[in-house]
Amino acid sequence: MKNLKIVSLIFALSTALLMTNCSSSDDINNNPPGIFSANALGTGIDSGNVEWTEAIDPDDDSVTYNVYLEGELIAAGGTTFTYTFSGLEPETIYEGYVEARDGRGGTSIAEFSFVTEPEVIIFNVDATWWFYDQYSEGGGLRSLFRGGFVIPYYEDATTYQIEILDYGWVSDTYSIGNTHIGSIYTWTNDSQSTPIGAVFADQPSDGDYSAALTSTSVNTIGSGFDVALGNYETIYGEARVTIIIGN
């Protein structure tokens, strides 16, 4: 009886080993999905779209796709050939890959990369006037009038641009108009040139910018001060500002 139990145990172990070998043989003989490619279709400020070709399996196994971005599994088990990423950072390089899986341990991958678009801020501003500086002179104040547009400072801006759509003034004594329409000025936080500059003479380096299209210097006790003030108070105009934000 004891010998019979031993024989039965040996038979069971042999059967299990044989089944294991057969299973391993199946895995060894399995062919992974074929070579395929992945490419970026397009990007936005915070998004990217990727497509890939079909990975043909030589064993005719059903193939599904996992999508990875920056080493993180984003989507698993899909059967379509596109994926759209969202919630990304502007102007950033992203790398990833698509993994084709045949369900039997066979895999193949196709890599991709893309760069998201920079953040772009576009808005219109109205023309205005201001005193660039005033200081004591001969019992009055030397007043430096400026007319044009004021543009906000952005610490992370890589490029600023202003396009003059309309600008001028109208008063009883003097008028100008339309001489700057269509003009485009571009600058950065590190480099500006006329007519782009500081709004005020004593402002900090991270202060707002001005596109000063008109300037006048007159003393408050001079006969021309009221005339100049009247002119600047009638300034009108509009400009389109484009600011590109970078990292």
Task: Using DSSP bridges, classify how beta strands 119-126 and 236-245 pair: parallel, antiparallel or unpaired.
Answer: antiparallel
Kindly give, in sequence order, each residue whose CB lies less than 8 Å from that of residue 238, ignoring residues fewer than 6 positions away.
Answer: 124, 125, 126, 127, 165, 166, 167
- What are the DSSP E strand ranges found in 116-174? 119-126, 128-137, 140-151, 157-170
**117 backbone dihedrals φ, ψ, rounded to 5°:** -75, 150
Helices (H) and strands (E) in the chain, counts: 2, 16
For residue 213, how far is the Cα from the chain centroid? 31
Q: What is the pLDDT of residue 246?
A: 81
SS3 state at 45:
coil
Q: What is the pLDDT of residue 172?
A: 52
Asked if residue 14 lies in contact with residue 6, where contact means CB atoms within 8 angstroms, the answer is no
Helices assigned H by DSSP within 144-201: none
Q: What is the pLDDT of residue 199?
A: 95
Q: How far apart are the first and last CA of the chain?
A: 81
Task: Please name each of the domains of the chain with its CATH number.
Answer: 38-117 (2.60.40.10), 120-245 (no CATH)
Give every strand in the sheet of 72-78, ordered side by side.
Answer: 72-78, 64-69, 93-101, 107-115
Q: Which pLDDT tens digits describe the chain residue by residue (247 residues)?
A: 444 444 444 444 444 443 444 333 446 789 999 999 999 999 999 999 999 999 999 999 999 999 999 999 999 999 999 999 999 999 999 999 999 999 999 999 999 999 999 999 999 999 999 999 999 999 999 999 999 999 999 999 999 999 999 998 886 555 555 678 899 999 999 999 999 999 999 988 889 999 999 999 999 998 889 989 988 999 999 999 999 998 6
